[in-house]
Every structure is written in structure tokens, then in C-alpha cells.
Amino acid sequence: MTHTRHGVRGGDPPAAHHPPSPSGPRLAVAPVRGRPPRGRRRVSGRITTFALFALPGLLAYLLFVLVPIGMTAYYSLTNRNPFNPPTRWVGLRNYTELLGDAEFLRALANTVVVTVIVMVPANAGGLLIAQLLDRPTRLYVALRGVFFTPVVLSSVVVSVIWQVVLTDDGLLNSALRGLGVEDPPGWLSDPGIALYTIAWVITWQMLGFCVVVYLAGLQGVPRELQEAAAIDRCGPLARFRNVTWPMLAPALTINTVMLLITGFKAYDQIQVITNGGPGTGTTTTMAFQVVRTSFNGNRVGYGSAMAAVMLVLVACVSVLVLRVLQRREVTR
């Protein structure tokens, strides 16, 4: 029997009847070819935005850091002299000459002395002052700003101030004579003292930076640990050694690396206060020797070799110190 009305032939069951959709018949929409999905468009837009914001910084880093480093490495392999062309390729001759250069070796030794002197007192003094200023009162907050003021001043300004204070007829020696000292030290004129005076000036300027970093570390020490150590009858020294000092490991790392770099690249203070004297090479550092050789002596190729050696030394020592101090952060 055939039911033509329902479209059923024989014994087949009748097909289910679906009422028409109120919104009309459904049509299959074919995807638009060549158009990425919405999620992929969102990620691509974020990458584009990030690239636009990062592009100025990357360009500045390329132009003012990477390009000068590349030019320095190239010039160090030549006899570059802007007033005596042409420039010729000399290979490693500049580097071999450095090994026998007494002035460069003395500048290297002076740089090491200045760096060590800057690192130790600035770290110790910064930690001590930070402990004293770790109070919530307004007076101590104001004193923090006073100690940080030298950091934001130019090194040239700081050097001029200390030159006025430390000359033979300066404020310090005048005060010493007023107290009865007949022959005060020549802080800048005595070859045995001048280098240590330069290191003191750099230390004084960087002291405020160490204070602020250690203060941030002290404020990150949980009070619960201090209270638990006090309940266990630990004295102030024991609490500092077992609780505070281990928690200050990141601050110690930051200060040490920054002071290390500051000591190695010391130039402004020597140029303004002593100009490398008194005498010959008494207070010259690597940075000062690089500038004097390249610009005063017009030996750009040889000065570039000095700068390359200085860059490698600073990078290697900084990485080594960073690894050692970071290991202390993990183990302690």
C-alpha cells in the first residue's frame, strides 16, 4: 500500500515531520577563504602591538650599544687613526702590544684597587645605614632621601664638590689646620693617597644606592620570622645572622654587581679631580686610559683594543660574581 501523501512506499515507516523553523530555512554558510580565524587574528594583533612598542627601544639599543660594540671590535683589529689615514688591518697586534704596555697594566691594577675599595665599604656602610633607617617615622623617611641625593647627582658635580673640599688648601685641610694639625695630608697631591681618595669619592656617591636597595630588602623580611626568632631567645646578632642576612641575599647581589661595574668604568672622577695624576699614571683607570689613548693620542685602534679587553673583563667578572651570589640565594 502506498501513501503518496506522506511519501511512504510499502511498509516503510513514515518520516518524522519537523515543523518549519520560525526564522526560516537554515542555510549552510561556506567559510570565507583566505581569512584567518578570530583567535589567530587576536594573537597577531597582540604581536604587532608589542612590536610597535618595543621597536624604539630595540632601535636605540642597536644604535647605541650593539653598533658601537661592533665598531670597537673592528677598530681593535686595525691601526685606525683619523688623522693618519689609510686604516690598515693589523690583526691581533694591538692585543699583543697591550701585554707589554706598562701604562695599561698600571691602569688595570688601579682599576682593580678602586673596584675592591668601592665594593666593600659601600656594601658594609649601606647595610649599616639601612638598618638604622629601617623605621616608619617621617624623620627616617626624610633621611633616606638625603642619603640618596648623591646618587641622582652627576658624577662631574660630585667630583667638583669634593675637589674643593680635598685640595691642599681646601675645606678639609683648613679645618685640620684649625684643629692644630700642622701638616695635613695631601689628599689629591700625594701619589700614595690620591687613588684611595678617588675610591672614597665614588664610594660616597654610591652609598645611597646601596642604602635604598638594602632598605627594600629589609622591608621584605617577614616580621613573623623575626618574632619567632625572638621567642626562641635569639639576640639581635643571632636574628641578623640567621634571619635577616639570608633574606638580604638578592639585595647583596644587586649592590655587588652594580658597584663592580661602577668601579670598572670609573672615569669622570679621575678626569675632573686628578686628570690621572699626581705624577704619571698614579690614578689612571682603564676607562681613563681608553679615552686618553683614543682621543688625546689619536690611536683609535689601540684604544679600541683596550676597550674590548675592558668589556670582556667586566662581563666575565660580573657573570662570575652573579653566579656565585645567586647560588648563595638558592642554598641559603
Residue 95: pLDDT over 70: yes
pLDDT digits 0-9 by tens, 285-299? 999 999 999 999 899
Residue 210, C-beta contacts closer than 8 angstroms, at least 6 positions apart: 122, 123, 125, 126, 127, 130, 255, 259
What is the pLDDT at residue 1?
44
CA dist 131 and 129 (Å) reads 5
CB under 8 Å, gap of 24 or more: what pairs does 144-151 form?
144/211, 144/212, 144/215, 147/207, 147/208, 147/211, 147/212, 148/208, 148/209, 148/211, 148/212, 149/208, 150/204, 150/205, 150/207, 150/208, 151/205, 151/206, 151/208, 151/209, 151/212
What is the pLDDT at residue 235?
84
CA dist 186 and 155 (Å) reads 22
Residue 66: pLDDT over 80: yes
pTM of the full structure = 0.81
Domain 101-331, CATH homologous superfamily name and number: MetI-like (1.10.3720.10)
Q: In this prediction, what percent of the chain has a pLDDT beyond 90?
A: 62
| pLDDT interval class at 2 (50, 70, 90) | very low
What is the pLDDT at residue 265?
92
- Kind plus residue range of the DSSP H or E element containing 269: helix 268-269
Residue 34: pLDDT over 60: no
DSSP track, 188-216: TT-TTTHHHHHHHHHHHHHHHHHHHHHHH
CA dist 149 and 205 (Å) reads 9
Mean pLDDT in residue range 67-81: 94
Residue 103: pLDDT over 90: yes
Residue 193: pLDDT over 60: yes
* Domain limits, the chain: 101-331
What is the pLDDT at residue 118?
95
- The total number of residues shown for the chain amounts to 332
| pLDDT interval class at 144 (50, 70, 90) | confident
> Left if phi > 0, otherwise alpha if psi is -120 to 50, otherwise beta: which for 276?
left
Given a contact cutoff of 8 angstroms between Cβ atoms, the answer to whether 234 and 152 are in contact is no
Q: In this prediction, what percent of the chain has a pLDDT beyond 70?
A: 86
- Picking from 73, 106, 126, 104, the residue whose alpha carbon sits closest to that of residue 258 is 126
Given a contact cutoff of 8 angstroms between Cβ atoms, the answer to whether 259 and 204 are in contact is no
Residue 153: pLDDT over 70: yes
Residue 112: pLDDT over 50: yes
DSSP state of 322: H
| pLDDT interval class at 236 (50, 70, 90) | confident
